[in-house]
Amino acid sequence: VQLQASGGGLVQAGGSLKLICTASGGDFANGAMGWFRQAPGKEREFVAAFNWDDGRVHATSTHYAPFVKGRFTISGDVAKNTVYLQMRSLKPDDTAIYYCAADPDLGYSGGYTNLYAYWGQGTQVTVSS
């Protein structure tokens, strides 16, 4: 399984970006996919995740970190093995490398890095003030 992330870039505060991550190989119809981020000098932290149940995402299976709730929306397309992160109202504190993560056997949207078996290469998001 390989994860390919894209969509990062430079944006002004208040702007928007949409991150995309596609998994090649693997069956995630009952697994989980999510996003984490890592700012310089800081540990990797949870952003958002969801898990699929026979290819469907239930509202109760989607979770966000408190600092992004209301600004970011995670979604997915199980047929394409793809997860999206729509980011709005971006702040300079959102500047980080964003990593997508996936696990075909994780039955819930966990927020810890050690729960996910597969990781993308990261995409840089820079928010200027």
The predicted pLDDT at position 54 comes to: 82
- Does residue 60 surpass a pLDDT of 90? no
CA separation, residue 84 to residues 57, 70, 100 (Å)? 13, 15, 9
- Does residue 107 surpass a pLDDT of 90? no
pLDDT band at 125 (very low <50, low <70, confident <90, very high): very high
Mean pLDDT of 60-69: 89
Return the minimum-mean-pLDDT range out of 22-26, 41-45, 52-56, 92-96: 52-56
Q: Whose CA is closest to 18, among 86, 98, 71, 76?
A: 86
Rounded mean pLDDT of the chain? Answer: 93
Of all residues in the chain, the percent with pLDDT exceeding 90 is 78
The predicted pLDDT at position 69 comes to: 73
Q: CA-CA distance, 92 to 10, in Å (whole number)?
A: 11
> Hey, what amino acid is at 36?
F
- Does residue 88 surpass a pLDDT of 80? yes
- Does residue 86 surpass a pLDDT of 80? yes
The predicted pLDDT at position 90 comes to: 98
